[in-house]
Amino acid sequence: MHFDVIILGSGPGGYVASIRSSQLGMKTALIEKESLGGVCLNWGCIPTKSLLNSAKILQSIKKNGKLFGIKKDQIKIDYSQIVNKSRNVVEKMRKGISFLMKKNGIHVIHGNAILKKEKKIEIFQEEKNLGEYSASHIVISTGAFPKIEDKFQYDGKKVITYKEALSLSSLPKKMIIIGSGSIGLEFAYFYHSMGTDITIIEICTKLFPNGDDEISDYLKSSFERMGIKIYTSSSISSIRKKNSNNGIIVEMKSSVGNVVLETDIVLYAIGIIPNIRHIGLEEIGIQIEKGFILVDENYRTNIDGYYAIGDVIQTPSLAHVASHEAINCIENIKGLNCQKIDYNNVPKCVYSSPEIASVGYTEKESKEKGFQIKVAKFPFSALGRAISDENTNGFVKVIFDAKYDEWLGCHMIGNNVTDLISEVVVARKLEATSYEIIGTIHPHPSLSEAILESVSNAYGRSIHL
């Protein structure tokens, strides 16, 4: 069977590409070896947010229940129900994508795809060969899988990745999390809220290594106040099972010397690897560099008719990035004049508590690039909405170019900042200066006022600080 477009992988890149392809009138097929939605929907973005929402509700009641007139003497955690709820959300979303495939007339094929020359694909279900398909254009969107070093004895039970962490059969008393990117931070907050003793080990000098320094420092202090133990500038020497009580012994080298810790479970959260093995890239001759497929600005590989988007290419490994790359890739195939993605204007979010959201350059990066900058912050503790919500942790930080008033970056930490960041993304997209932001009326009371106040503060015009 021949199609105009065949897409490999049904994550936020693949299923969006298939829908846009169908919208543009192209005969489209989507190949997925597991469940529709990919890692993001089934084992990442969606189920983790359900778990985190449960944790935030629990912590809010524990911390502020009395203030809001809510009695909290008999609070009990039904961990299995929390996990079941997250899986039900996944199932609902999965059915939604299945509906969209049918609505848009997309031919969904379940199986393992092997790329062939001349834009052909062979598909297998276990040992069964389902035959060969061809297309005028093939888009590779196969996502990524967890990065883990073999020497640390990953077994999916005592040494686990995010996938197992989403549905543990019972709550561990102790957990060590290796890595403090978004995955590590979100699971640290969730399991700590459930009552697990959490230790984070990070090889870099600061928690949340890619964040602005002040954000990272504030997050570290916030986590430590919760009771989460943190080791930065630390590397793992060994992970081994303890025979006496089925525990795990973790040895590491840290800034305070060699440290030995005992835990019930180790969660490996040090990143992901592009899922491009065993799909036939070598046979076709598609170029790979440092484990990523090489593409041009239109997501074309070096072989005509083959494209790649999402986690398999060297752009930010984020669901919303993959979705936009999908749309651009398909529109380029159709010959449309679409807008190029500005990868410096991609919002990056962590959904722990406090939440983190950022876009653009950090203060350090701005200085390294030679900008003369104006920097200012506004704390949520000075904001009426945050005070009324009894959630005053965090701040909004803005960075402007002093010469041209360009908005170089914005970094937030606090309640609901993952929603607030979109205003900044749009403003930067439209090349708004501080003048436009200060002249824009923000609703009162709202958390968004922190953006207005921080920008005003950079120019000595903050009213409430």
Q: Which residues contact 337 (CB under 8 A, 6 or more apart)?
A: none
Supply φ then ψ for residue 158, to 5 degrees. Answer: -105, -30
CB-CB contact of 442 with 427 (8 Å)? no
Closest by Cα among 276, 232, 239 to 254: 232
- What CA–CA distance (Å, rounded) separates 388 from 385? 5
For the chain, the C-alpha Rg in angstroms (whole number) is 24
- What CA–CA distance (Å, rounded) separates 137 from 139? 7
CB-CB contact of 399 with 454 (8 Å)? no
Three-state SS annotation for the chain: CEEEEEEECCCCCHHHHHHHHHHCCCCEEEEECCCCCHHHHHHCHHHHHHHHHHHHHHHHHHHHCCCCCCCCCCCCCCHHHHHHHHHHHHHHHHHHHHHHHHHCCCEEEECEEEEECCCEEEEEECCEEEEEEEEEEEEECCCEEECCCHHHCCCCCCEECHHHHCCCCCCCCEEEEECCCHHHHHHHHHHHHCCCEEEEECCCCCCCCCCCHHHHHHHHHHHHHHCCEEECCCEEEEEEECCCCCCEEEEEEECCEEEEEEECEEEECCCEEECCCCCCHHHHCCCEECCEECCCCCCECCCCCEEECHHHCCCCCCHHHHHHHHHHHHHHHHCCCCCCCCHHHCCEEECCCCEEEEEECCHHHHHHCCCCEEEEEEEHHHCHHHHHCCCCCEEEEEEEECCCCCEEEEEEEECCHHHHHHHHHHHHHCCCCHHHHHCCCCCCCCCCHHHHHHHHHHCCCCCCC
Residue 444 annotated to the active site: yes
Q: 């947010």: which residue's tokens?
A: 49
Catalytic residue among 110, 320, 444, 464: 444
**Could you give the residue numbers annotated as active site?**
444
